[in-house]
Amino acid sequence: MEARLDEAVGLARAIRLDVVRAEIARIARPRPNTLFGGGAVGNLGELIKDDAIELVVVDGALSPVQQRNLERSWQAKVIDRTGLILEIFGARARTHEGRLQVELAALSYQRSRLVRSWTHLERQRGGFGFLGGPGESQLEIDRRLIGERIARLKRELDDIKRTRALHREARRRVPYPVVALVGYTNAGKSTLFNRLTRSAVSADDMLFATLDPTMRQLALPSGRQVILSDTVGFISELPTHLIAAFRATLEEVTEANILIHVRDAHHSDSDAQRSDVLAVLADLGLDETAQDRVIEAMNKIDLLDPAGRASLANHARRNSQSAVLSAATGEGCDTLLELIDNRLEAATRPVRLDIPLSDGRTLAWIYRHGEVLGRRDDDEAAHLSVRLSEADIARLHNHQRLH
Ligand SMILES: Nc1nc2c(ncn2[C@@H]2O[C@H](COP(=O)(O)OP(=O)(O)OP(=O)(O)O)[C@@H](O)[C@H]2O)c(=O)[nH]1
Ligand SMILES: [Mg+2]
């Protein structure tokens, strides 16, 4: 519970709210009208009044009725966990697509609340500025208008998705394998991304610092080139509306050749965070069989005491799926790169190739990159049976297309 409270405070700080108090409120029996019992509503009301608190975040789910009743009795704005996360995403979205996705999520969230509480609500908050200024909160949003806007957003996002599919197709023609960083928010994905690619994307001690995906080319120790991607982090109870809206982005991540699951090994809730991430990945269609595409990166080991480090290092030695590292100091990062290299190396399959004898360059390339299992030459061509990596197979196909 303490860890969860810390996280809630972190979420609030992520949009620079000034947190005056943070409390764990025990609820024996959730009340349909106020969530909290009468006594708790009163006590909290006193605190809110004494400290002149303007906004109360309930780190759970509130029904629209509960939200409205609490706002009335506390004379303060009240939002729940989903509302807060949507607000953060709204503040973070930079790209056109990101903004559309967040708006879609926020509107779907609002519509679901509108439906449930239709009879109770005379007014609904406007836009997705849950915390917005006075004008906004007065806006009346008609269900039909929301529906139309949602439909338009979905169409626009579909268009973007199609364009991106074309881009992806183009990328396949320079077919470097894609290595995607995934993990709980604040686990250190962007720090690792910067460390490995020597870039400077924003990596802050802030939940959901990254929203829009970033990609860079990276050379592995073997010389093999890959594309490294950094993207949005996960969190427990990630709002379903957000997952739905970000589905296209997130599914692309799960299509990567290798996924690096970056974990904060120092976090007291590290194991629970791991389960949350795996649950979201499973929800996105990454099944058990895809597990051999996942490498676990136990990050922030610089913060562990020697015993903690030793036990992690032990675990990693027994487990080739796991690396122990510090993105901050760089320790262990080479080992991670080697693991990626090995994994890509292992992902090979035998193919048959017919190469014109005149094409000495391609033949030489094949001998350099693959394991030639058999060869038969006729007047025109060499007929080869070769074991090659997926990436090299793609590269070769592309190369031949150029002839
Ligand atoms: N001590 C220590 N801190 C780290 C390490 N890696 C990351 N951090 C810190 O952890 C915080 C979060 O790092 P980010 O790289 O932004 O995390 P992220 O996973 O990209 O987070 P989101 O984009 O919010 O999902 C920052 O304050 C980093 O400086 C590490 O190896 N050791
Ligand atoms: Mg990040």
Query: Cα separation of 302 and 96, whole Å?
Result: 37
Sheet hosting strand 214-219, strand order edge to edge: 214-219, 225-230, 178-183, 258-264, 294-299, 322-324
pLDDT given at position 119: 34
Give the number of the ligand closest to the Cα of residue 88. Answer: 1
Q: How far is the centre of ligand 2, averaged over its atoms, from the C-alpha of 328 (Å)? A: 13
pLDDT confidence of 171, banded at 50, 70, 90?
A: low
* pTM, two decimal places: 0.76
Query: Cα separation of 261 and 184, whole Å?
Result: 9
pLDDT given at position 10: 92
Q: How far is the centre of ligand 2, averaged over its atoms, from the C-alpha of 320 (Å)? A: 25
Which position has the higher pLDDT, 205 or 362?
A: 362
From residue 155, alpha-carbon distances to 106, 142, 207 in Å are 16, 20, 30
For ligand 1, atom 24, name the residue with the nearest CA: 208
258 pLDDT above the threshold of 50? yes
Which residues lie at CB < 5 A from ion ligand 2? 189-190, 209-210
Query: Cα separation of 230 and 305, whole Å?
Result: 28
Q: How far is the centre of ligand 1, averaged over its atoms, from the C-alpha of 7 (Å)? A: 14
For ligand 1, atom 30, name the residue with the nearest CA: 300
133 pLDDT above the threshold of 50? no
Query: Cα separation of 15 and 222, whole Å?
Result: 42
Q: How many CA atoms lie within 13 A of 162 on its CB side?
A: 5
pLDDT given at position 54: 93
For ligand 1, atom 16, name the residue with the nearest CA: 203
- Which residues line the pocket of ligand 1, CB cutoff 6 A? 183, 185-191, 203-205, 207-210, 233, 299-300, 302-303, 326-328
Pocket-testing residue among 7, 94, 186, 336, ligand 1, by greatest number of atoms within 8 A of Cβ:
186
Helix (H, G, I), strand (E, B) or coil at 381: strand
Q: How far is the centre of ligand 1, averaged over its atoms, from the C-alpha of 209 (Å)? A: 9
Give the number of the ligand closest to the Cα of residue 11. Answer: 1
For ligand 1, atom 7, name the residue with the nearest CA: 188
Residues 6+ apart with CB under 8 A from 241: 82, 86, 104, 105, 106, 108, 109, 112
**Per-residue pLDDT tens for 69-105?**
999 999 999 999 988 988 888 888 878 888 888 889 8
pLDDT confidence of 400, banded at 50, 70, 90?
A: low
264: part of which helix (H) or strand (E)?
strand 258-264
Which position has the higher pLDDT, 120 or 34?
A: 34
List the Cα angle 222/220/313 in 5-degree steps: 100
Nearest to 105 by CA among 243, 251, 250, 213: 243
For ligand 1, atom 27, name the residue with the nearest CA: 205
| Average pLDDT over the chain, rounded to an integer | 83
Dihedral (Cα; 384, 387, 388, 390), 10-degree rounding: 120
The answer to whether 240 touches 149, Cβ cutoff 8 Å, is no
Q: Which DSSP string corresponds to 15-83?
A: TT-----------SS-BTTTBS-HHHHHHHHHHHHHTT--EEEESS---HHHHHHHHHHHTSEEEEHHH
Nearest to 312 by CA among 303, 321, 269, 322: 322
pLDDT given at position 136: 38
